[in-house]
Amino acid sequence: MTQPPQPTSEPSRYLPDKPSLEGLEAKWSGVWAEQGVYSFDRTKTREQVYSIDTPPPTVSGSLHVGHVFSYTHTDAIARFQRMRGKEVFYPMGWDDNGLATERRVQNYYGVRCDPSLPYDPDLVLPEQPGKQQISISRRNFTQLCDQLTKLDEQAFEELWLRLGLSVDWSMTYATVGARSRAVSQRAFLRNYQRGHAYMAEAPTLWDVTFRTAVAQAELEDRDHPGAWHRIAFHCAGDSAHSNSAPDNRVYIETTRPELLPACVALVAHPSDERYTHLFGTTVRSPLFDVEIPVVAHRAAEIDRGAGIAMCCTFGDLTDVQWWRELDLSTRAVVGWDGRVVAEPPTGLSSTAGREAYAQLAGLTMHSARQKVVELLSASGDLEGEPRPITRPVKFYEKGEKPLEIVTTRQWYIRNGGRDDELRAQLLKRGTELSWHPDYMKVRYDNWVEGLNGDWLISRQRFFGVPIPMWYPLNADAEPDYANPIVPHEALLPMDPSSDTPPGYDPTDRGKPGGFAGDPDIMDTWATSSLTPQIAGGWGSDEDLFARVFPMDLRPQAHEIIRTWLFSTLLRSHYEHDQVPWQHAGISGWILDPDRKKMSKSKGNVVTPMALLEELGSDAVRYWAASARPGTDTAFDTGQMKVGRRLAVKLLNASKFVLGLGEADAPANLADVTELSKVTEPLDNAMLGDLARAVDAATIAFEAYDYSRALERAEQFFWFFCDNYVELVKTRAYGEHGDAAAASARTALRLALRAQLRLFAPFLPFATEEVWSWWQRGSVHRSSWPTADELGGQRVTSQVALESGLLGTATTLIGAIRKAKSDAKLSMRTEVDRATIYATVDSLPHVQAVLGDVAAAGRLRHTETVCRPAPDGHSVPVGRDELSVELSL
């Protein structure tokens, strides 16, 4: 066995007989780690650094080809910037914070967190989770969270290593780690101290399954079946208003009849003449017999339902608006558990009403609806049958039941949703970013313009960053929320449920005159919105932070512009008064081949590790990098096979070029004197074309268009292999003299050296393998190719003539191939005589390349005839004579 070469050793002249992609991932990822090829040099200044605000993957989610897709894009950019001479700050983060982890731990271990239980240091769980979830303490629970996320993080790291991400693994962070918790709590406290964070008791969108508040950014609309119910309210007295129904009733239509006991008003549009006579009067609700005012509000829609709506506390956000703006009563009936609360609301005082209510108390919303419909039918207040409809209903994105609105005390961060001036500032911040692709900015603008309230950041969950606040308790042990006890920044991270505020004794917890900790944790985005600060060492390593912040690039997917991008920008706006990055690179999604979003449930998810093992990382990276920025892309193994073919071709072509001879192998091709060996016009023409491809790829990369950079490199490479290499092959063997051979070999080597570097960001393994055969160091620390090193001005001055030459030669060899193909001859068939027709203008070109063309086409004798080609195309005359007609 031949020892694999080491990148720091002398060029090894090691050329495998049969180059292969197998094993390159393990070999080179190991070498890179060992030699710290991607380690960040923190002595560099901000100007010298290119910093990336890595998206920390949710480790409790499944590994998905979508991950491979978008992280490859970022890695290609990182590698390009590194080769351009930037010191790339490219850490990895793990998002192990929040509900995703909680849920995974519950299912994986079969446990459930009960914060009232004491910690059990000797907890032993059954090997297989049982049917019944085991209740454990909060501390035990979070320990299991830590334990499981460690496993998940390992799986991700293995994947990333195999994919070849050029991450500095010594700088990894986790969003629930101590550093992240400290940053998150510090930023929150500063928001609080500046008045950007506040606490309020207000109607809140509430998930009854997870029993937590959720934020606007976590909502999604889903089509949900429901039904219109036409319900009669009773007008007071013997009203003689002609517009009332003849039976003195007012009909409303609702999809939420179960909220009838929560009704606080009927609302119609001020200009709706059907109801104007009722404004200012009251009606009585059916079943519950509560006196209900009829009021006017512009938000009521004349042509929706009956045109008059039942306003409940709270059925939807319009109800909240009406309740606020019209100063209506409050009759909450939905409890935290999603069931009808036991006590009837105020105002529900009649005996009949209380009896009706008693039949609902404790029921789920679903059952309560059936019961109310039953009662209304019996009382004759339901007109007709419910009419089924499907309408959009708000869900928590991770939830399975429609959201309710429950009044709770929560923490908020101002986000412009209630403040036009702040909103305008944030919109302006959006313009300070370079968006790639630029139209993605519209999504940001839409989101900011559509915000309808401040950002609710508290969550009634267990695993996450605690809200760092205590509250003094009064003589009745009730918390004084208006005067929280704020911890010192030096004490962060802290947990108010186990830490004791200064001046108190742990035994004062929960006692009159004592203190209580805030029981809630923060929304996962409240921490993730600080990834530039976490990764950069804000507050703990200000020296590092100054060298990396604001960052250059935020890569992310488009669906989290409203969450991650927006919230990060908001926090940076508050804390640093600037945008957190210069560029936002937005990736698309992976769709399955049917153009649907890939989903686990459909069984079409491919495990990325298996893909990498089967096709090779370079192949999969090629597929990812072929997708235009921001574009949703079909999962396509065909494209990966194309990438694999490219990588194999690169190995083989390199082997050929490097195998042409050791004697004149230049030790340092960066030495421009090598260029003087390139004497043949055809060789210079090729280098000139390559120089243009290099320029095009560079411009594309600088504009974050990695796919175009790859396309240009690839386009040139196939042309190089199929035409140039074939044309100069025999000359390179030395059949036309040493100088001509040296010209070809040097050009081939210069071209190979440049092309390996063009491909390095995309095919890091194959390019590194080839680089190691003949160059020092890692290709990934070499410099990005330039037009200058390929001849620059020298080539450019002759460009007109020489690119014409290359075109002529390519056309000629193509015509010869076609002639042979039409004659059903092997390409190696020797042709005794060929006639090449040409115009006067092109004749010099033809004659200049005739030697290479004749050799490549295996033409023994050629004749050039100076006249336009006869009609038709190439005419194969036979094995011993070939007429090649050209339109030149």
Partner RNA sequence: GGGCGUAUAGCUCAGCGGUAGAGCACUCGGCUUACAACCGAGCGGUCGCAGGUUCGAUCCCUGCUGCGCCCACCA
Subset of residues 254 to 313 that bind RNA, contact rule: CB under 7 A: 254-256, 267, 299-301, 304-305, 307-310
**Stretch 399-418 residues interacting with RNA (CB under 7 A):** 402-403, 405
Out of 825, 843, 865, 875, name the contact with RNA by CB under 7 A: 825
Residue 548 contacts residue 46 (beta carbons within 8 Å): yes
Tokens of 254: 């609702």
Site for RNA in 129-148 (CB under 7 A): none
Q: Which positions from 213 through 252 interact with RNA, judged by CB under 7 A?
A: 216, 219-221, 226, 228, 252
Site for RNA in 657-676 (CB under 7 A): 659
Of 342, 827, 840, 866, which one interacts with RNA (CB under 7 A)? 827
- Gap between the terminal Cα atoms of the chain: 53
Residue 742 C-beta: closest distance to RNA, Å: 18
In whole angstroms, how far apart are CA 151 and each of 60, 105, 156, 157, 220? 10, 12, 9, 10, 31
Site residue total, RNA (CB under 7 A): 82
Distances (CA, A) of 280 to 265, 302, 331, 795: 11, 18, 20, 88
The two tokens of residue 836 are 């090449």
User: Measured between alpha carbons, how far is 88 from 720 in angstroms, rounded to an integer?
Assistant: 32
Least spacing, CB of residue 88 vs RNA, in Å: 27
From the CB of 202, what's the least distance to RNA, in Å? 15
316 sits near RNA (criterion: CB under 7 A): yes
- Do 230 and 389 contact (CB within 8 A), yes or no? no
Interaction residues for RNA, span 511-550 (CB under 7 A): none
Q: How far is the CB of 809 from RNA (least distance, A)?
A: 13
> Residue 47 or 303: which CB sits closer to RNA?
303
Q: How far is the CB of 233 from RNA (least distance, A)?
A: 12
Residues 444-473 vs RNA: string with x where CB under 7 A?
Answer: --xx--x-x---------------------
Long-range contacts of 335-339 (CB under 8 A, 24+ apart): 335/406, 336/206, 336/208, 336/211, 336/406, 336/408, 337/208, 337/211, 338/208, 338/209, 338/364, 338/365, 338/401, 338/404, 339/363, 339/364, 339/365
Indicate the residue among 403 and 569 with the shorter CB distance to RNA.
Answer: 403
181, 186, 196, 394: which one binds RNA (CB under 7 A)? 394
Residue 9 engages RNA in binding (rule: CB under 7 A): no
- Report yes or no: 149 and 101 within 8 Å, Cβ to Cβ: yes
Nearest-CA neighbor of 291 among 309, 265, 313, 312?
Answer: 265
Stretch of residues binding RNA (CB under 7 A), selected from 71-79, 373-381, 629-637, 691-699: 629-637
Which residue number, 309 or 492, has a Cβ lying nearer to RNA? 309
Task: Give me the least distance between CB of 858 and RNA, in Å please.
Answer: 9
Q: Which is nearer to RNA, 443 or 845 (CB)?
A: 443
CA distances to 353, 412, 460, 520 from 214, in Å: 33, 11, 9, 13
Contact 789, 751 (CB under 8 A): no
* Per-residue contact flags (x/-) with RNA for residues 560 to 589, judged by CB under 7 A: --x---------------------------
**Choices 98-106, 279-287, 534-542, 818-826 (CB under 7 A): range interacting with RNA:** 818-826
Q: Is 393 in the site for RNA (CB under 7 A)?
A: yes
CB-based contact 676:794 (threshold 8 Å)? no
CB of 332 to RNA, least distance (A): 15
Residues 828-887 that bind RNA (CB under 7 A): 828
Q: Is 595 in the site for RNA (CB under 7 A)?
A: yes
Q: Which of 675, 725, 742, 750 binds RNA (CB under 7 A)?
A: 725
CB of 796 to RNA, least distance (A): 22
Contact 618, 766 (CB under 8 A): yes
Question: How many whole angstroms separate alpha carbon 108 and alpha carbon 592?
Answer: 28
Options 722, 792, 835, 868; binder of RNA; rule CB under 7 A = 722
Mask 688-717, x = binds RNA (CB under 7 A)?
--------------------x--x------
Among the listed residues 100, 58, 192, 142, the one whose alpha carbon sits nearest the alpha carbon of residue 467:
192
Place of tokens 């030699």: 35
Q: Which of 243, 370, 599, 821 binds RNA (CB under 7 A)?
A: 821
Q: Are 834 and 857 in contact (CB under 8 A)?
A: yes
Q: Could you tell me the smallest distance in angstroms from the CB atom of residue 524 to RNA?
A: 16
Of 726 and 768, nearer to RNA (C-beta) is: 726
Tokens at 790, concatenated: 């390929």
Question: Nearer Cβ to RNA, position 465 or 888?
Answer: 888
For residue 619, give Cα distances in angstroms to 22, 48, 638, 649. 12, 32, 10, 12
Q: CB-side exposure of 176: number of CA atoms within 13 Å?
A: 31
x/- binding map, residues 355-384, to RNA, per CB under 7 A? ------------------------------
Compute CA 52 distance to the chain's CA centroid, rounded to the nearest angstrom: 14
Considering the rule CB under 7 A, would residue 354 count as an interface residue with RNA?
A: no
